[in-house]
Amino acid sequence: MHITLTGNLGSGKSTLSKVFEKEYGYEIYSTGKIIREFAEERGITVLEMNKLMSEDPKYDHLIDDRSAQISRDRQADNIFFDSRLAWHFVGKAFRVFLSVSLDTAVQRIMGDNRGNVETYTSAEDCKAQLRARVAEEEKRYKEIYNIDYFNYTNYNLILDSTICTPDVLSKILYDEAVAYYKAMDEGKTYTRLIISEERGLDDFKNEAAASKPEIKELYGHRFYVMTL
């Protein structure tokens, strides 16, 4: 199976990827790995490669093309694509968006040691910067690729990481991936949202209005589950 993972800043994508690799033996293919491969092919350092990428948007397309190539060449392998836009470029895959409440994202990010590249004077400053980054990313993806990154119907699963540990999330994600691939083989597709009951549905009012949320218990946690 191929699985792509993207999501909100501070949602825990990298941590979930590592747990999934350990628990299910998937190969993690991340943007960072692709950048390292490009740097090695060109005989330069990763830092130099990052500088090239910041100066020339063609490298964004090279990363996208490499993800698509890997998905074509290794269809039979279990690969977990940890990349912002792999969902758009990888072929047959289970597409996952990892969601988190803004307040929880702020707590996590301020609790991390992210070096000098991410500094915040307060929780409100962090929140403001996150909102600005989201707006900039949304604009950039629209201009470069003409895609609506935050349209949830682009994905097969929107999974909320606000409350649960990565271990629980990995189990839910795996179960959903297996179920979705079975449905896909039968010619069916869908978008499912699994949102913690404790978080609530304030951030998903449109999706809740378009479906009938059910409360389900998954691995000891209660979730709103909606299928679009």
**Residues of the chain with pLDDT > 70: what percent?**
95
Q: Is the pLDDT assigned to residue 35 strictly greater than 80?
A: no
Q: Quick one: pLDDT at residue 84?
A: 85
Residue 204 lies in a domain: no
Whole-prediction pTM: 0.87
Residue 40 lies in a domain: yes
Q: Quick one: pLDDT at residue 168?
A: 96
- DSSP string computed for 90-112: -SS-EEEEEE--HHHHHHHHHHS
Residue 212 lies in a domain: no
Q: Is the pLDDT assigned to residue 10 strictly greater than 70?
A: yes
Our count of domains for the chain comes to 1
Helix (H) or strand (E) holding 206: helix 205-210
| Phi, psi (degrees; rounded to nearest 5) at 213 | -60, 135
**Range in 59-68, 158-167, 190-199, 206-215 the model is least confident about:** 59-68
Q: Is the pLDDT assigned to residue 118 strictly greater than 70?
A: no
Containing structural domain, residue 44: 2-176
* Packing angle of the helix pair 46-55, 31-42 (nearest 10 deg): 100
- DSSP string computed for 57-81: THHHHHHHHHHHHHHHHTTTS-EEE
Residue 8 lies in a domain: yes
Residue 7 lies in a domain: yes
Mean pLDDT of the chain: 89
Residue 220 lies in a domain: no
Residue 114 lies in a domain: yes
* Packing angle of the helix pair 102-111, 123-145 (nearest 10 deg): 110
Q: Is the pLDDT assigned to residue 90 strictly greater than 60?
A: yes
Q: Cβ(42)–Cβ(49) under 8 Å? A: yes
Domain containing residue 145: CATH number: 3.40.50.300
Residue 136 lies in a domain: yes
- Give the three-state DSSP class for 225: strand
Task: Give the full edge-to-edge strand order of the sheet including 94-99.
Answer: 27-30, 79-82, 2-7, 94-99, 157-160, 192-196, 221-227, 214-218
